[in-house]
Structure 1
Amino acid sequence: MTRPTDEAPLPERLARAITLGGPIPVSQFMAAANAHYYATRDPLGAAGDFTTAPEISQMFGELIGLWAADLWDRAGRPADALWVELGPGRGTLTADALRAMRAAGFVPPVHFVETSPVLRAEQAKRVADAVWHDDVEDLPSDRPLIIIANEFFDALPIRQLVRAANGWHERLVACQDVLFLPIAGKQVPDSVIPEGLRDAAPGAIIETSPASVGIMRVLAARIVAQGGALLAIDYGYQGPAIGDTLQAVRGHAFANPFDEPGERDLTAHVDFATLGLVGHASGAIASGPVDQGDLLRALGIDARAAALAQKDPRVLADRDRLVEDMGTLFKALAIRHPDWPQPAGFA
């Protein structure tokens, strides 16, 4: 029995679209692949494809919660402030953060921006009274927002431009049957390339993320209008820069990002310099980026690990993974309202 066209596997649907309409931008391929991937599974933990910092140790979420509570306290304890997490995974970070915030006297309503029905179900097990939104545009517009984006921006679609002998070209995805591969597409004007990178060697790749810029612009404008702050933590760099960072992970191992779209997690490194500039252009104050390890040390991870290790010495290995192994690759950026204080860890 033949399945209806709209129930065909994603690789078949993408192959058909490319066959009919021609190669598609990397950004479109990545968006389709990740939308299917996250909607159809819980990818976290030993049985999944990857593990994030909140799943490594309760210390991560607790310290982010204390970061938020301290900021809220020094901002005058606004009674109507909300906690918002973007792409909250299983809800582990927020659950741990709420426990720490409660001890500090901050018990905010929780709002999640999440589209995956599978992950929403997991989040509801840990934060039962959360309010869910499909898009950042749907967040409340009448009160301060304290927004956490841990490993959120890295999964947003990127655009890639590749240098050829005759100039820069949009990188597209072509296919033969269901074999997908990147190719150089239409040439783009040099004016869209940062001046210092225009003469890069053939084969060089530049990445941009219009989706990330759009979301940051909306959130920064909300923060300026409503009060609050955003903390983004991810692996990334300060651009513009040359480099192909598009990668896929499956079963805790790297994989070909163009194989089996929708069956592996696609990510790219985050350009924190661009996100900071977008926040600044919106009237917000940008701080950082700082290394994740430095942020966690400033927030007191060493003392917390020592206390927890009295009952379970394995906590010290978790601390090392967060601070040493992930400590320099992962970075943190803060965006805040001009009248809100400098967040802890960004002095």
Structure 2
Amino acid sequence: MADVDGEGQAPADRADRGHGERRLTPLERALRERIQAEGPITVEAYMEACNAYYYGTRDPLGRDGDFTTAPEISQMFGELVGAALADCWTRAGRPADAVYAELGPGRGSLTADALRVLRSAGFAGKVHLVETSPVLREAQARAVPGARWHESIEDLPARPMLLVANEFFDALPIRQFVGGIERRVINAAGGLAFDRDGEIVEQSPAREDAMAAIATRLAGSGGAALLIDYGHEKSAPGDTLQAVRGHCYVPILTDAGEQDLTSHVDFEALGRAAREAGAAVTQVITQGDWLNRLGIGARAAALATANPERIPELETAIDRLCHEEQMGQLFKVIGAHADNWPAPAGFAE
């Protein structure tokens, strides 16, 4: 999910107590019944239920959706991802059995743009997409004919892999703790509410498990991965859970299942999980620095020369993707790779 302004809402704005009369969403009704029958649910369970329903029932992307991701902003993003992977594959000896894999590929825009560059470099591997949403699978099938779909990372083939995860980890569920006690969601005042407030520490076993699964596959079969998301380089306390609908922040506990729930990704935790599972890991770098090192300026200039009418569009795209007040600083990139594969380009000075 592309961040709206880089700052979460204050916890007081999120308590959502005292809704008054309003129409319940199908998921909220189900969650309230579950809490009534079983007791309070964790933030992790709430986030998991909401995002499973949300992504399974719609295409959330674009101007008419709830948020816009980097591949939807410009083709240059996916092309540079493809160029970094093509370079890595070439330096690894161009293994013929390598495959391209992407986690949560949205509409398939990044896949299509990256593959265009990879194919031009001679890469002929098959495409494997981890996607559970039937709505988004339809869009991906149109963008990437011949792709194969999987329900989980563990289902990906045991082959050398060029893997991309762009804005995948931020939507995986988190746990929240206040004073060492896990925060939960309860029924209160005719709606849903958190059972406690205070200084929050966030953890995400789901993210660390996903990173470990990627790293295990890389260590065992070879390959490299690029992981791009919004978040922080070092682990730190703080409440970063947020909900977005119609490109605006909205209360987290209102309209369950009808908005995108995400939180900032802890890249230090991801790197630790990858190393413990046997993969080598690059430094964490900002998206703006990474794209600039890969040559986004030169790519924009080439596109502008061929299509002068696109100059304003290209300038706007670079600003959105690279400027520190837009996606450039908040979004980070980390690479992981097998010990016998080179690190992806763009991370070294």
**TM-score (norm: length of structure 1):** 0.90
Alignment counterpart, residue 93 of structure 2, candidates 72, 76, 80: 76
- Give matches, 1:15-30, under 5 Å: 15-30=32-47
- Give matches, 1:236-247, under 5 Å: 236-247=231-242
Q: Which one has more relative contact order, counting CA pairs under 8 Å at least 6 apart?
A: 2
SS in 2 for 1:327: helix
What is residue 127 of structure 2 aligned with on the other side?
110
Alignment check: 8 A CA contact 2:224 2:343 kept: no
Unaligned regions of 5+ residues in structure 1, if any? 1-7, 185-201
What is residue 288 of structure 2 aligned with on the other side?
293
What is residue 259 of structure 2 aligned with on the other side?
264
Structure-1 separation of matches of 2:170 and 2:56:
17
1:180 aligns with 2:192: yes
Pair 1:240–1:298, CA change in 2 (3 A): same
1:35 aligns with 2:52: yes
Amino acid in structure 2 at the alignment position of 1:315: L
Alignment check: 8 A CA contact 1:91 1:122 kept: yes
Structure-2 separation of matches of 1:101 and 1:336:
18
The alignment yields a C-alpha RMSD, in angstroms, of 1.2
1:322 aligns with 2:321: yes
Task: Give CA-to-partner distance per residue, 1:285-312, whole Å, 9 cap, x none.
Answer: 1112100011101111000111212311
**TM-score (norm: length of structure 2):** 0.89
- Give matches, 1:1-347, under 5 Å: 9-141=26-158, 143-163=159-179, 168-176=180-188, 179-184=191-196, 203-310=198-305, 311=307, 312-313=310-311, 314-324=313-323, 325-347=326-348
| Cα drift, residue 280 of structure 1 | 0.8
Q: Structure 1 residue runs of 4+, over 3 Å off?
A: none
Amino acid in structure 2 at the alignment position of 1:155: A
| Cα drift, residue 239 of structure 1 | 3.4
Equivalent residue pairs, number: 318
Structure-2 separation of matches of 1:280 and 1:146:
18
Alignment check: 8 A CA contact 2:233 2:332 kept: no
Structure-2 separation of matches of 1:319 and 1:107:
30
Structure-1 separation of matches of 2:75 and 2:187:
43
Unaligned regions of 5+ residues in structure 2, if any? 1-24
Task: Give CA-to-partner distance per residue, 1:112-143, whole Å, 9 cap, x none.
Answer: 000000000000000010000011111112x1
Amino acid in structure 2 at the alignment position of 1:303: A
What is residue 4 of structure 1 aligned with on the other side?
none
| Cα drift, residue 145 of structure 1 | 1.0
Structure-2 separation of matches of 1:115 and 1:262:
16
| Cα drift, residue 343 of structure 1 | 1.4
Amino acid in structure 2 at the alignment position of 1:144: P
SS in 2 for 1:262: coil
